[in-house]
Amino acid sequence: MSKRIFALSSLIVFAAALPLAAQTPAALKPASPGNTAGSNAKSWSLSKTPWGDPDLQGTWTSDDTWGVPMERPVSYGDRLYLTEDELKAREKAVAQSKQRIENPSDENHSPAKRQLEAAAKGETAAPAAGAFGRGVDAAPVPGQFGEYARRASKQTSQIVDPPNGRIPELTAEGKAKQAAARATRGKTPETWTDWSIYDRCITRGVAGSIIPVIYGNGLEIVQTPGYVAIRYEMVHDTRIIPTDGRAHMPPGIRSYMGDPVGHWEGNTLVVETTNFNDKMGIGPNGGGIQSEDMKLTERFTRVADNTINYELTVDDPRTYTAKWKIAFPITHEPGYQLFEYACHEGNMAMRNMITGTIAEQAAAAAKKN
Amino acid sequence: MQKRFLGALIAVLALGGSTFGVPSVAAQTTAAGVPRMKDGKPNLTGLWQSLSTADWDIQAHGAQAGPFYQLGAIGAVPPGQGIVDGVEIPYLPAALEQKKKNFANRWKEDPVIKCYMPGVPRSNYMAFPFQIIQSQKDILIAYEFGSENRLINMGKPQEAVTDTWMGTSNGHWDGNTLVVDVTGFNGMAWLDRAGNFASDSLHVVERYSLLDANTMNYEATIEDPKTFSRPWKINVILYRHREKDARLLEFKCVEFTEELIYGDLRKKAGK
């Protein structure tokens, strides 16, 4: 994966110059028509599995939240939801993108087509206006990657708590870790450890496997008495979640995806995950930082035939000075399926990136001599 | 011997099998005590693992030295009685030559060394457990090795959309036996560490049947007209992990292979 695409998929925040109306942050509302799928609330009721657990099964995607930045632009203040006008603008962009992707044609001029046309002339196509998901009012990436928002999210950010929608201040330990990570990212990558856990095709972690990026946003839930299993497309991780509220594994066992334990609270599946290693973080594609003491608490609540409300609370006092929470719906879309993502098996990029650096360095050295 | 075990043993002997190798167990009759779903189907949910050494070599083999003398006894190949029904694997002549080449270069060429997906059926007899999660609809298998997984579609069969390492699995029940039809392989996985292999025309039909609550018979018919002169079978017993709180653990092996795969590049960079 090129560094540019990787950076794009990190959803960098920028300050939007929009007038603000102060608004009390509200808890994430259940899906409503126009925001997410939401079948008519009156006629829908949650079905249960034959053994009596709420049925969350099926294929789900976080596509509808693509384009919503994880951290809220500072200018939005404490406002979690878009105004009516802002929402209309986003709905328009989403509709255009959806139309373009679902009806590819010569007239649509998908970016792929423009890029190929430009390359044939030996040029580079300029990105379309508002493209590539920077900030609240961006249009979702259309076309060539296949994942796209089908409905306009009302949210200004994925983070819904603290009230300003931004990651809380880091502790001293967190800041030191972040500085070290930035130093690594800033230097010319020479070996595999200079690349992210994702680029190395190891995993994207618990949060990174569901926070939407340009592709690979799908997951599948399969249940059986006593367990809920979640299988993620990218990078083919499976979490086996026992729902008997058993104890976590001993602290000596640490892993990238941690040890999940679940229980039902009414119709909500609550999952607590501990026993993490500290090699990655909370963010798109597993970027960010965390400590081994991090505890993640997720809540999955099905609110419509094709909508599950998802919440993720990050509790890591060694890294962050406060807990923080991400929330967005995941939806079921007709025709959407998961594919095998044999990342490591096909990771020619790592080899190419390292040899590319070597070639650059050799060229620079040759110039000197 | 406990009555139940004796009963199962008699069933195995009575159902017999081929002249050589492992007798095949057609477990249409499921022993009492088998967990079942509400609809009566056997519930295969659990943490399962083969006790065989089939991953080293699916054919009968004696003990052998391993590739690194420094690892002495712990790096050596353990013996195995084999899981191939009928001893010989019916390779076509050209494929047999390829198998011999694979064997000669196995400590370099085995894709699993690089943490590549072991495919089907090899994933089911690795020295790592796997978790079956059986719902009232589909069946998910999550493998500890490399976090591989496969979803067995129990609805209307779907054609493989593209070639993959783990194939596309469509399943249905034949009495108390789960039958899984796997197609759409990319031909890049091996069947074991000894270089047994198949092409992208591989077609595997698996049969999973519970012999009792804690033992499962796994049989796979392997068909590949580009590699073998006829279909042939393997047969493995899978055992349920019954330790208190047994769980699938994480074995993400990519990090153990990066030096091997990219190390030559780093050396070129003088690092």
- State whether A211 and A162 are in the same domain: yes
Is A317 contained in some domain? yes
Q: B50: burial class by Cβ within 10 Å (0-12, 13-18, 19+)?
A: buried
- Per-residue pLDDT tens digits for A152-163: 999 999 999 999
Is A332 contained in some domain? yes
- For the question of whether the overall pTM of this predicted structure is more than 0.95, the answer is no
Q: Give the integer Cα–Cα distance in Å for B36 and A256.
A: 34
From the CA of B266, how many Å to the nearest CA of chain A? 6
- State whether A210 and A324 are in the same domain: yes
- State whether A259 and A119 are in the same domain: no
Q: Give the integer Cα–Cα distance in Å for A88 and A148.
A: 18
CB-CB under 8 Å, B137 with A224? no
- State whether A194 and A110 are in the same domain: no
Domain boundary among A135, A150, A165: A150
Q: Which of A187, A188, A192 to mutate to test the interface with B (most CBs of B within 10 A)?
A: A192
Is A305 contained in some domain? yes
Closest CB to A240 among B39, B131, B255: B131
Q: Which of A198, A219, A222 to mutate to test the interface with B (most CBs of B within 10 A)?
A: A222
- State whether A234 and A322 are in the same domain: yes
Q: pLDDT-based confidence at A283, cuts 50/70/90?
A: confident
Which residues of B fall within a CB distance of 8 Å from A201? 254
- State whether A111 and A165 are in the same domain: no
For the cut 50, the answer to whether the pLDDT of residue A26 exceeds it is no
> For position A147, what pLDDT does the model report?
80
SS3 content of chain A, % helix, strand, coil (to 5): 25, 20, 55
Which residues are paired to B169 by β-bridges? B152, B182
Domain boundary among A150, A170, A195: A150
- Per-residue pLDDT tens digits for A308-361: 999 999 999 999 999 999 999 999 998 888 999 999 999 999 999 899 988 988
From the CA of B231, how many Å to the nearest CA of chain A? 27
From the CA of A306, how many Å to the nearest CA of chain B? 17
Is A36 contained in some domain? no
Average pLDDT score over chain A: 83
> For position B4, what pLDDT does the model report?
54
With beta carbons less than 8 A apart as the criterion, state whether A71 and A167 touch.
Answer: yes
CB-CB under 8 Å, B136 with A253? no
> For position B25, what pLDDT does the model report?
39
> For position A7, what pLDDT does the model report?
41
CA of A239: which chain B residue's CA is closest? Answer: B142
Q: Is the model more confident about A369 or about A75? A: A75
Mean pLDDT to the nearest integer, A89-96: 90
With beta carbons less than 8 A apart as the criterion, state whether A279 and A288 touch.
Answer: no
Q: Is the model more confident about B74 or about A120? A: B74
- State whether A61 and A98 are in the same domain: no
SS3 content of chain B, % helix, strand, coil (to 5): 20, 30, 50
Q: Domain count of chain A?
A: 2
Domain at B3-243+250-268: CATH architecture: Beta Barrel (2.40)
What's the CA dihedral at A202, A207, A210, A211 to 10 degrees? -110
Q: Which residues of A201-229 are buried (b: 16+ CB within 10 A; e: fewer)?
A: bbbbbbbbbbbbbbbbbbbbbbbbbebbb
What is the distance, to the nearest Å, from the Cα of residue B6 to the centroid of all Cα atoms in its chain? 27
CB-CB under 8 Å, A340 with B166? yes
Query: CB-based contacts of A211: which residues, under 8 Å, 6+ apart?
Result: A62, A65, A70, A158, A283, A284, A285, A326
Which residues of B fall within a CB distance of 8 Å from A56? none
CB-CB under 8 Å, A345 with B265? no
> For position A42, what pLDDT does the model report?
56
Residue carrying structure tokens 């509790």: A315
CA atoms within 13 A on the CB side of B101: 7
Beta strand B149-153 pairing with B168-174: parallel
Of A106-115, A230-239, B11-20, B25-34, give the lowest mean pLDDT range. Answer: B11-20
> For position B248, what pLDDT does the model report?
97
CA atoms within 13 A on the CB side of A285: 20
Query: CB-based contacts of B215: which residues, under 8 Å, 6+ apart?
Result: B8, B237, B238, B239, B240
Which residues of A fall within a CB distance of 8 Å from B147? 203, 235-238
From the CA of B19, how many Å to the nearest CA of chain A? 40
pLDDT along chain B (271 residues), means of 10: 51 44 40 85 97 98 96 97 95 98 97 98 98 97 98 95 95 98 97 98 98 97 98 98 95 97 78 49
Closest CB to A240 among B142, B164, B188: B142
- Per-residue pLDDT tens digits for A123-163: 765 555 444 433 344 444 444 566 889 999 999 999 999 99
Which residues are paired to A82 by β-bridges? none
> For position A114, what pLDDT does the model report?
63
CB-CB under 8 Å, A338 with B255? no
Q: Which residues of B7-24 are buried (b: 16+ CB within 10 A; e: fewer)?
A: ebeeebeeeebeeebbbb
Greatest mean pLDDT among A93-102, A106-115, A349-358, B247-256: B247-256
Closest CB to A344 among B134, B135, B254: B254
Is A339 contained in some domain? yes
Q: ipTM of the assembly?
A: 0.87
What ranges do the domains of chain B cover? 3-243+250-268
- State whether A284 and A200 are in the same domain: yes
From the CA of A246, how many Å to the nearest CA of chain B? 8
Is A318 contained in some domain? yes
> For position A68, what pLDDT does the model report?
93
The domain containing residue A178 runs over which residues?
A: 1-8+47-81+155-369
Q: pLDDT-based confidence at A185, cuts 50/70/90?
A: confident
Q: Give the integer Cα–Cα distance in Å for A77 and A171.
A: 23
Which residues are paired to B168 by β-bridges? B183
Please give the helix or strand (H or E) that residue A115 lies within, else none.
Answer: helix A111-120
- State whether A205 and A275 are in the same domain: yes
Q: Give the integer Cα–Cα distance in Å for A154 and B228.
A: 58
- State whether A282 and A297 are in the same domain: yes
> For position A106, what pLDDT does the model report?
55
- State whether A135 and A190 are in the same domain: no
For the cut 90, the answer to whether the pLDDT of residue A217 exceeds it is yes
Q: Is the model more confident about B58 or about A182? A: B58
Q: Phi-psi bin for A81: left (phi > 0), alpha (psi -120 to 50), beta?
A: beta
> For position B31, what pLDDT does the model report?
55
CB-CB under 8 Å, A57 with B147? no
With beta carbons less than 8 A apart as the criterion, state whether A308 and A60 touch.
Answer: yes
Which residues of A fall within a CB distance of 8 Å from B250? 255-257
> For position A45, what pLDDT does the model report?
92
